[in-house]
Amino acid sequence: MLSGLVKDKHGEALPGAGVYVSGYKIATVTDNNGRYNLPLKPGNYDILVQLIGYKALNKNVVISDKAVKLDLILEESITQLAEVTIKPDPNREHYINMFKSYFIGTTPNAEQCKIINPNVLIVDYDKETFKLTVKTTQFLIVENKALGYRIKYLLNNFEYDGKTRIIYYEGFPYYEDLKGSARRKKIWEQKRVAAYLGSPQHFFRALFHQRATEEGYIINKLITKENPDRPSDSTINANIKDLTKAQTGLTSPLTIRTGDSLNSWIKIKKMPRALSILSRAPIAQDTLVHVENESIRSINFTDKLYVVYTKEREDPAYANRIGLSIARPLDMPDYQISTITLQVVPVYFYENGSIYNPRSMLYAGYWGWEKIADSVPMDYLPPAGLEGKK
C-alpha cells in the first residue's frame, strides 16, 4: 500500500487532488483530510498529483514488500491563478499539427485521436537548428476513439530534430476508459489486443520471461561495416581538388563528362561510408538478456537489433509511406520489422515491458511509426492465451 498526505507549502491539507500512477489506469482522489491510498504491486512507479491552481507534481517511488508512506507538497501555479498574456504566433497551428503527427502518429488509429486542450501546449520552433520542442505544465488530454482511451499526458519534453529526423519525448501518461456500448467496447478490446501485440511493450515483456520466440519474435543483428570500395574522405577530396585545378586551369569553366576521372571521383564521394549487413542467425535470448535482480533485466549489444514480429503483417498505411520501411531479404514476407539502436548502455527494463531510461534507445521501422495513438497502459494484459497465438 502506498499512502500519504497531499498538502501545500504551508502544510495545509489539499482535499480533492487527483493522484495517478503514470502509464497505468490506477488513480485515486485525496479525501477531506488530504489523504490518499493506492494498492500497488512491488515495482518502480511514477506518481502524479494534479489539482487546479497548483503545478502538477511527479515523484518516483519503489514499492517492495512493505507499505510505503509518501507525503506530497504542491506548489501554487502562478500561470493558472493569474491572467497570462501570450503573444500570438501565426505559425502556432502549423507547429501543433507537426507535433500531432510526430507525437500521436500517422497510423489509422491516430486518425481517430483528438487533442482536447491544445492551449496547454508550450511550443517553440528554432529556425536555425530546425528543432521543434513542446512541453506542458498541465495534463494534455488526448481522446483516442480507436482504442477507447482518454489519455492525460504530463509532457516533460518533446523534441523533433528536422536535421536528424529523430523524435524524442518523455512524460507521464494516465489512461482512462472511454464510455461506450457493449458492442463498442468489444471493438475497442480487439483493437487494444492488436495494438499491444508486436509492440515494444510486448517485446520487452516477452524478453523478461524468455518467451520472445514463442510469442512470434525473431531477433537478428544488423551489422554496420565500413564500405571497402570507398576511399577515405581525405583521398577523395585531394583527388577532386587536383583534377578540378587541372580541368579549369584555375580560370576556365569546369565541365564534367561521363568517363572523366573527376566525374568518377565525384561519384565515389556519393558512395555510402558504411554498409549494413543482416545476420540472419537468431540471437539467443539467454545471451541477450541479463538478470539484474528479481524485478529488473538488462540488454546490451553492438550494432543494431533487427526485430521481426511474425504474427502480424505490415499495415498498408505503413508500407505506402516513403522512407519508413526497413529493408528486408527478398524471401521474407511483409512481417512487421523494427530496429533498435542503443544510445545509453545497458538498457534496464521491467516485467511489464517498461524501460528505465526512455532515452536509452532509438526505434526505427514499425516501432518508429507507431506512437501514442497505438499505446496501451503498462498494466494492460491481453485475454489469456492470446499473446502467443495472434
Residue 241: the pLDDT is: 83
**β-bridge mates for residue 76, sequence order:** 54
Please give the grid coordinates belonging to residue 84.
Answer: 497570462
Bond preceding residue 346 cis, omega within 30 of 0: yes
The SS3 assignment for 311 reads strand
Per-residue confidence at 82, pLDDT binned at 50, 70, 90? Answer: very low
87-122 pLDDT per residue, tens: 567 899 999 999 999 999 999 999 999 999 999 999
Angle at the Cα of 126 from the Cα atoms of 123 and 130, rounded to 5 degrees: 110
Task: Give the pairing of strands 122-126 and 131-135.
Answer: antiparallel
Spatial CB neighbours of 304, under 8 Å, sequence gap ≥ 6: 221, 222, 224, 276, 339, 340, 341
Q: Is the pLDDT of residue 80 over 60?
A: no
User: Mean of the per-residue pLDDT values for the chain?
Assistant: 89
Residue 249: the pLDDT is: 58
Give the phi and the psi of residue 150 in degrees, each rounded to 5: -110, 115
**β-bridge mates for residue 253, sequence order:** none
